[in-house]
Structure 1
Amino acid sequence: MGGEVNLNRLAVFAAVVRAGSFTAAAAQLGLTKAMVSQHLARLERELGATLLVRSTRRMALTEAGAAFHEDCVRILAEAQAAIERVGAGRELPRGTLRLTAPANYGAMVIAPALAGFLRLHPQLRADLVLDDQLRDLIGERFDLAIRGGPLRDSGLHAVRLDGFQQWLVAAPAYLDARGAPRRPQDLAEHDAIALTALSSPTRWSLADRRGARHAARLRPRAQADSAAAVHAMALAGAGLAVLPDFMVEADLDAGRLRRLLPAYRLPEGSFHAVYPGQRPPAKVRAFIDHLRAALAAR
């Protein structure tokens, strides 16, 4: 019988005991006296026990009713506390922010922004997982994921964070030995380092200043499934590479790499924050806002 009890009737029973009468309880609950009486009668039937004995002038708890009332008060208080905790989580960042991001972008951009976010919210903790593979947010209990490239159709909600350019680069040592390409057609004569994580790592469309597109095909001398590995091989002079601007800006400034065909533009990329659920908790909303502000200030 216990599995068939309507738990809403616990609040009605507790209100009757607290108010001292069916009439007063009905007024507090916004119900009619008859509805309160029906709820209590059904609760006793569902429990298979008498909770209250009543006459025309007074009512009293039975022994079973007194014990059950203590449990009801505790259960209702715990339920209210749980509701308040959830509400606080919607309003104030708290708990642990568990997020995942691509390895290089995560280390170079997300991790520093996350450190600043934690300084602003000392009550928060963070668990950052860097992985170039798509993780199951719901199954692995992630609050948030940072993803690059086109988004797959899913039930996740997405917020655009940042765009980035892709640049064709090579080390000075390689260019001294092989010369620099001057047109997109020249790329086929050079060694390239392909990033196999891309959908089309050797075929590119470059746009000139007039917007006209030029097809180019790279000849891979080496390939890797990690942008960090491609970057390392490019620095070592293994060939040309297409890498995101945020990854090679420091190398270009220091002269470790040179940008090739700057008059042509490769397709731009973008990063999004994605999260499950209609209403993300405050920690997720606050970090997305913080991250967007940090990216805008770069």
Structure 2
Amino acid sequence: MANDVNLNRLAVFVALVRAGSFTAAAEQLGLTKAMVSQHLAKLERELGATLLLRSTRRMSLTEAGTRFHADCVRLLADAEAAIERVGGNRDTPSGTLRLTTSTDYGMAVVAPALASFCRLHPQVQVDLVIGDRVSDLIAERFDLAIRVGWLRDSSMHAVRLGGFRQLVVAAPAYLSAHGTPRRPEDLAAHGWIAMSVLATPLRWTFVGSGGKRRSVRMRQVAQANNAAAVRAMVLAGAGVAVLPDYLAEEDIRSGRLVVLLAQYRLPQGGIHAVYPGKHPPAKVRRFIDHLRERLAPA
């Protein structure tokens, strides 16, 4: 039966035919003559067919052996070509890079990084899927996920690419109408725009320069399920919120948003590349390096 055939014996059989004798084949394979003979005998027994006729002076292929030899040569050549292709692609990014990340981070950071990556590696095509649901990388056939925040326990491999600060922000028009908070406790009197997907969207702990912790419970006026929507409401003057620095920096530089309580710190989040398998392909490794370089402090 085909399922009972030891495929390693095919290489021994092909080498034997090529060498023309058991002695020469044994020398080429680094085996003893007896071991080559045993491999052939077991292969014939597994196949239920005689492949070689041999005497003290010569050997010759049977009709079945001739056909089988041709098939084995082709199979071994295909296997060698497949191995060479894998080895050749080990360090050259190619194929489709399918990755997923959150909506806000995908739009603000990952999509621009992918654009520059594709210019550097034109052999790579990109399939970016953004959304705030944590995807199953194996079931959904993703090569990579860029995850922002705090990682859950997982069997996946993760590489830290960087981190981000959480900033308390508001629009100038809102502050003109409601005043500027000077202490964390002042925030309780302001309208708060909450990120509903967080575990505690209305309770925040601030750490001062001396390490003193101050927890405040906010008064919610609105909520949204992703940071981009929270940002839009803050820009429109609806209230105060916490935004990640990568989403708020441009607005802060332009004056559309103001950072509040800058002397206090909120917990910092991480940015991680997460992927299945111990040996990611070149396209994954190169994009991780590319994104890490873009995230590195100037």
TM (normalized to structure 1)? 0.97
Residue 220 of structure 1 corresponds to 220
Residue 255 of structure 1 corresponds to 255
Residues 101-120 of structure 1, C-alpha deviations (whole Å, 9 max, x = no match): 11111111111111111111
Quote the offset at 1:297 in angstroms. Answer: 5.3
Backbone CA RMSD of aligned residues: 1.2
Distance 1:63 1:208 in 2: 87
SS of the aligned residue for 2:109 comes to: helix
Distance 2:24 2:107 in 1: 62
Distance 2:297 2:143 in 1: 25
Structure 1: gaps spanning 5 or more residues: none
Residue 57 of structure 1 corresponds to 57
Q: How does 1:1-298 map to 2 (within 5 A)?
A: 1-296=1-296, 298=298
Q: Which amino acid aligns with 2:43?
A: L
Distance 2:259 2:3 in 1: 70
Distance 1:206 1:297 in 2: 24
Structure 2: gaps spanning 5 or more residues: none
Residues 42-83 of structure 1, C-alpha deviations (whole Å, 9 max, x = no match): 111111111111111111111111111111011111111111
Instruction: Answer with 126-135 or 45-54: which moved more.
Output: 126-135
Quote the offset at 1:138 in angstroms. Answer: 1.1
SS of the aligned residue for 2:89 comes to: helix
Counting matched residue pairs gives 298
Quote the offset at 1:89 in angstroms. Answer: 2.6
SS of the aligned residue for 1:91 comes to: coil
Distance 1:126 1:232 in 2: 28
SS of the aligned residue for 2:264 comes to: coil
Q: Which amino acid aligns with 1:231?
A: R
Residues 137-185 of structure 1, C-alpha deviations (whole Å, 9 max, x = no match): 1111111111112212221111111111111111122222211212111
Q: Percent of pairs identical after alignment?
A: 67
Distance 1:201 1:183 in 2: 19
Contact kept? 2:143, 2:284, Cα under 8 Å: yes
Distance 1:213 1:17 in 2: 79
Runs (4 or more) in structure 1 with deviation over 6 Å come to none
Contact kept? 2:105, 2:148, Cα under 8 Å: no
Q: Which amino acid aligns with 1:214?
A: R
Quote the offset at 1:91 in angstroms. Answer: 2.1
Distance 2:89 2:99 in 1: 17
Q: Which amino acid aligns with 1:12?
A: V
Residues 195-252 of structure 1, C-alpha deviations (whole Å, 9 max, x = no match): 0121211111101122211111111111111111111111111111100111111111
Distance 1:91 1:9 in 2: 32
Distance 1:76 1:265 in 2: 62
